[in-house]
Structure 1
Amino acid sequence: MSAFVVSTAHIDTIVSAAIDLELFAARTDHGTLERVCPETASAFGKMLLTENVRSVVHRYRLAGSAEAFDYAELVETYEFRYRPCVPAGAAAKALDCFDYQSCETDDYEKSLAYAFTCRMGKALNKHLAGYDAAPWGIDDRIPATAH
């Protein structure tokens, strides 16, 4: 499996969509949920970017390298820039890409970033095309739609 550090525009896209979804998530180890909003956006973005960098540094054993230092500086200098009207499908794909690039550590599934992606993924489902029209319960009386 390979991994790369996503761009700050990629992080901005995810956080912008989270703002639009009025998502609540944790960004500190205290676990308190807070709303992703313009005032908290940079902190959430840094939390996500930190996890992505941690994954890449772990995967390629970059600890102490110049590249790891550059990544740390990228995180430190990150400032959120809002990207308006991110479609749900684009946000879902950006989130999936982020998750794939950030999962290289053994404890990723215990991280705040992973919890964020799970919460956001669930919130995005409700905004995908066809969600509102789909039945809540499925039984044999409802014909399957053709693909």
Structure 2
Amino acid sequence: MSAYVVSDLHINTLVSWAAKHDVVLYSPERISMKAEPERIAGLLYTANVESVNSRYSEDEISDDFRFERVRTLPEPLTIIKLCHCIEYQSNEVSDYEKTVGAAILRTIENAAIRALPGYDDAPWGI
């Protein structure tokens, strides 16, 4: 499997969408994505870089990432796909499922699923 660092726009779109929808991460700590979008974006970027470094046995650190709020945001389905992409690029570290990056992506993905048209009207159980 190969891995790459996703674009700033990719991360900024995810975090801007989460901030607009007031998504809150509750574990491992409580972080409001609306109140701390720069922090959330930085955590996702760091997780992605660490994964690429792990995959290619590198030790590069880059501070090139800059958070900028994205004004025109995609629909929830695109947010889900963006989550899947960055997760694939960030899961090369051995304890990925326990990382804050994984928790952030699961939280954003779950919020996007709940925002899909018709979700609220679907039956809870059958």
1:58 aligns with 2:46: no
Q: State whether residues 108 and 114 of structure 1, in contact with CA within 8 Å, keep that contact through their aligned partners in structure 2.
A: yes
- Find the partner of 2:63 among 73, 91, 98: 73
Structure exhibiting the larger radius of gyration computed from Cα positions? 1
CA RMSD of aligned residues (A): 1.8
Percent identical across equivalent pairs?
Answer: 34
TM (norm. structure 1) is 0.78
109, 112, 115: which is aligned to 1:121? 109
TM-score (norm 2): 0.90
Structure 1 gap ranges (5+): 139-147
Q: Unpaired segments of 5 or more residues in structure 2?
A: none
Specify the code of the residue in structure 2 equivalent to 1:127: A
* Count of residue pairs the alignment pairs up: 126
- Contact 1:26/1:33, CA 8 A, preserved across alignment: yes
User: CA deviation digits over 1:86-130, x for unaligned, max 9?
Assistant: 310111111111111100010111110101111122211111133
In structure 1, C-alpha distance between the alignment counterparts of 2:49 and 2:71, rounded to whole Å: 22
Partner of 1:137: 125
Equivalence for 1:143: none
Q: Aligned AA for 1:22?
A: D
Partner of 1:112: 100
- Runs (4+) off by over 4 Å: none
1:79 Cα deviation from its structure 2 partner: 2.6
